[in-house]
A and B are shown apart, each in its own frame.
Chain A
């Protein structure tokens, strides 16, 4: 009885009265807000506010070691970043990494998922084999691959020497291929995630479709092209978007494996931002660089979204 009273005070008592329908909805809305509140507060405090703070500080000469925002800088921080050669090179390296990793991570994940899905016995082993690297922390991954890429004596260089290359290039020590080394590391590390998404998508495709196609005499390849790929297009859209964003935010592997070197040939934007903020103590300038990266990611995401929409509309028209 007392519980009911308390509940009614909170507006939680279920009501069946049709005439008070609007009140009921209001009550439910309030309950919904109550449930969202804990998360909402953290979201505002630790997501929205820092973003606003970042945008504000990007217009000031904010220093890590001085209280307050510091002197007003106008667009000087943006001007500095946009005229700094190393900002452009870091942006290019970020995009370069995205280009190196996104296509293989999407295509290979798809291929492996299709193959694993066809395995009759012991499928668990393939799922495990592809997914296990993903659960390792980036520090462990960096150690493993730095070891493999050790100049002269590492596994990769030893293998090259075995094939007859007496002075193999150190992968992480050569500006032109260091990023490739990091991309391969990332590929091995993260392919499991996309693989699992594709596998889940594959298992949602009804078997009857393939059976019907087989009865009609479609080859394996035709089945993949006409059934698998189109029915997985939503998964592909998701995988592609998540992958581009993840690749644009590359940081750990570079920080741990090359520290941005040799020279600045693998320095990426997040590395530049971290250095500017926490080594140079220049929060304002780092915020400006962060805002610019944010804008780049938004542009790429929106562009990709627009392309998909156009494609879908064209496909619908063709139907």
Chain B
């Protein structure tokens, strides 16, 4: 055996670590910053302790934003995880398999197109006068439903959430397709011999066999829902009023429009806590999963 320099592995990891400082330092810096009152134009930071947090937990806009994030999460789990699983199960069925690659490719297309392009495109569809959505509603005789979707504070957040669903179902479906392909075909063959129909196979084989992926998909979707920024920022800017505000857009506004950097940092800490909790749940579940195996 050749003698190896003890330092060598560290040298290989050094560049990566230098970059990772940009991920880790800000996390701690942010918690520190949230204890101060400061702005970009007044470089003196005034220590205020937990005042920012006290203020935050009395702030109705914060609750509005949090509520919208929760709404985002609930709807996304139904449509992305539920819808994604159904789409995947259908595409992986033997009867469809011939055309499946074509559908799969098209369904996945919105995932690769940036949310900026998609959100700007949907502003055309939601346009109150000439937008396609209202035109379709009028065409099928539902004139009364036509409205300025993004401009109405009752519908704005739903219109925003809908765009996310449109983009992301294909992503989760793709994950499920990978998971379903790992299921042993013998399970389905045995069930078919037993006379089970497709619904039974779906609920008794596909759903339990993709349990682990469901867990991953739920965590991914939840994390996505609590960190969503692009869709509400581009489509409504959080408006009208604060009706479609989410934590990230509120953070952005507080920091870069109102220049209340300390307060914005406390919003960031809340996002950190939520996403960290979700990650811990995921890690824990996976560790216990491996011990069982």
Q: Are A and B genuine complex partners?
A: no
